[in-house]
Structure 1
Amino acid sequence: MRLLKKSKWMWVGIMLAAVPLILFGCAQSAKERAASAPKPTQEQLQKVELLNRTADDMYKRVTQGDVSGGREVLKQLNDQLPKIQFEGITTADGIRALTNVLNDATRTFNAVKFNPNEGQLNAVRLRLATDALTHASQPMWLQYYKQLSDDISKLEKSAKAKNKADLRKAAGDLSLHYSIVHPSLLISRSATDVEKMDSLTAFVKGQAEGSEDPFKNVLNAVPHLVQILDKLFMKKETTAYLPYADQQNPILWTLVLGSIIMSALSFAGWRLSKKDDGVVTIRRSEDA
């Protein structure tokens, strides 16, 4: 028995007709996820704002040399944090990052021998982290882009010059400055992107400190460092990463998915039209 190619195109037509429904379903799902996302209450926002003011107070005291005053304010932060619900404000990764930086600061300020440098670093990390919670669109940690970008440039320059001492210093500076904004990044950005930056900074530091000939590996890592840094700080478009299905780009993801489906169906239709001149032969089982 032979079937006309019209029957094949009927199935292709059905599949193509289903594409708008698929896209509509994807768009609706994205909208539903955004609508169902928990919204912070006014009470939550007020508590977070108080946390931010308290962290600012601690930071000012510590930078002015008032360590005992900073320690007292740190106690207030430890009292405030457990009373705040962060749903709708940051992710579980962000909450862990904030808790960890607060714990680090507490250990530093309660140590038998206080380290002023560590104390100031923890005060800065904590200040930037609480600011990230209250200023999602324009957090203070964005100011560190130039510093980190300069560190990467120095890393590249020293690798090209094959100067291991300068390379080690540049890698150490990059690691230190990145650690300052690390908690804030986990509060504000995708944990996946932050983990990429974590891996890259750890890699170049390990190469600079441990490898006998680290220069080629570091130079290979530099473009990736620049790319992910720009993505985290939203400085320019990055083309190496496909859009992912998050709440920030649901429409973009839907359009990409739709384009893929349309391309696949169009190709399938073309293949069907070419095979056996559009006619397919169906054999009975006894003829096989």
Structure 2
Amino acid sequence: MKKNIRFLMFFLAIGLFLSWPIHSLYSKLNQPIEEQQLVALDQIANEFLTYAKKGDLEGAQQRIIQLAEKFPNQHLTYPIRIESLNAVTQSILAAKKSFASTNVSEQQLLWHATQVRVAIDSLTHEHQPMWRSYYPSLVTQVQNLQQSAVERNYNQFREQFDENYRLFLAIKPGMSIQLPEDQLASISAAYDVISKEMRNAQMDWQLVREALRDLNGSIQTAFVGEEKSTFARLMMRPDSPLAILFSISIALVAALAYVAWKKYNGEIRSA
């Protein structure tokens, strides 16, 4: 009996060990051609950002040219709003233009590279997009803005707002692909109120603080308000590796239970 249990445990370990590579192979073999092309685009976008971070402008320029050529002919695996599609297209074209110029700062080039990378990533990573990883930075900046608004420190507020708004614009095309239109509009509206107030000769700090509260609430809703857990999302997918692991475990546990029952039944009969 112990020998049988050891065999079953051995096969359980083998099944768990092989489930992930089998799942990966199955996913690749059954991946539609459009999805394979999107994965290739995502790889190019990743290389584009990597070259930009390293300061390899020639390598980065080659990658953005490839993206500009391939993206207009790309068939998406799911429908998106025309505004979102235009936002991604414009981010690619703006990056291409900037990298072709000789009088753009490295910081601006890196900003364009980040915007393109985040946007392309949103097309290929529905459940864990890159733009969500910017939540801690974004919300910390908003909290700093709220503190500056309380202190009515205009110069500090202006500097912090410019930095925060640039970050939002960098991830906005990626966000627009996956967020409901009204959620993105509420964030943009709050920024517009603050930006308009900053152009006035005399700022209404009370109005700015109210807009910042609205902005903070809209960001919370967009980033974490309706997010499901990663485990739940994975388990709901029919091709989930966790579902495969769960199925193998259930089958082997059932086999172990059957062996234990047979042993118990045999002992009862021999008693």
Q: Same fold (TM over 0.5)?
A: yes
Q: How does 1:162-177 map to 2 (within 5 A)?
A: 162-177=152-167
1:229 corresponds in structure 2 to 219
2:23 corresponds in structure 1 to none
Matched, 1:191 2:176: no
Matched, 1:72 2:59: no
CA distance in 2, matches of 1:94, 1:189: 10
Give the direction of change, closer, same or farther, for the CA distance of 1:76–1:197 in structure 2 (3 Å limit).
same
1:16-71 per-position Cα deviation (integer Å, ceiling 9, x unaligned) = xxxxxxxxxxxxxxxxxxxxxxxxx7111111111000000111111101001110
CA distance in 2, matches of 1:169, 1:124: 21
1:180 corresponds in structure 2 to 170
Give the direction of change, closer, same or farther, for the CA distance of 1:184–1:192 in structure 2 (3 Å limit).
same
CA distance in 1, matches of 2:44, 2:212: 38
Q: Is contact 2:35-2:77 (8 Å) kept?
A: no
Q: Which moved more, 1:206-215 or 1:131-140?
A: 206-215
Q: What SS class does the counterpart of residue 234 from structure 1 fall into? A: helix
Letter in 2 for 1:205: S
The TM-score normalised by the length of structure 1 is 0.64
CA distance in 1, matches of 2:130, 2:50: 15
- 1:183 to partner: Cα distance: 0.7
Matched, 1:94 2:84: yes
Q: Is contact 1:97-1:183 (8 Å) kept?
A: yes
Q: Is contact 2:84-2:177 (8 Å) kept?
A: yes
Q: What SS class does the counterpart of residue 80 from structure 2 fall into? A: coil
Q: Is contact 1:230-1:236 (8 Å) kept?
A: no
Q: How does 1:42-53 map to 2 (within 5 A)?
A: 42-53=32-43
Letter in 2 for 1:181: I
**Runs of 5+ consecutive residues of structure 2 not aligned to the other structure:** 1-30, 228-271
CA distance in 2, matches of 1:209, 1:133: 36
CA distance in 2, matches of 1:63, 1:144: 17
CA distance in 2, matches of 1:174, 1:72: 30
- 1:200 to partner: Cα distance: 1.0
CA distance in 2, matches of 1:118, 1:180: 11
Letter in 2 for 1:120: L
Q: What SS class does the counterpart of residue 210 from structure 1 fall into? A: coil
2:8 corresponds in structure 1 to none
CA distance in 1, matches of 2:201, 2:218: 24
Q: What SS class does the counterpart of residue 114 from structure 1 fall into? A: coil
2:238 corresponds in structure 1 to none
Higher helix content, 1 or 2 = 2
Aligned Cα root-mean-square deviation (Å): 1.8
The TM-score normalised by the length of structure 2 is 0.68
1:206 corresponds in structure 2 to 196
2:75 corresponds in structure 1 to 85
Of 135, 146, 149, which residue of structure 2 is paired with 1:145? Answer: 135
CA distance in 2, matches of 1:217, 1:77: 42
1:71-92 per-position Cα deviation (integer Å, ceiling 9, x unaligned) = 0111111121122112515332
Aligned-residue sequence identity (percent) comes to 20
Matched, 1:113 2:103: yes
Matched, 1:55 2:45: yes
Letter in 2 for 1:97: A
1:173-205 per-position Cα deviation (integer Å, ceiling 9, x unaligned) = 221111111111111112222122112112213
Q: Is contact 2:122-2:130 (8 Å) kept?
A: yes
Letter in 2 for 1:106: K
CA distance in 1, matches of 2:137, 2:158: 17
**Runs of 5+ consecutive residues of structure 1 not aligned to the other structure:** 1-40, 238-288
CA distance in 2, matches of 1:96, 1:163: 37
Q: Which moved more, 1:190-199 or 1:206-215?
A: 206-215
Using CA pairs below 8 Å that are at least 6 residues apart, which structure has the higher relative contact order?
A: 1
1:229-268 per-position Cα deviation (integer Å, ceiling 9, x unaligned) = 011112469xxxxxxxxxxxxxxxxxxxxxxxxxxxxxxx
Letter in 1 for 2:127: S
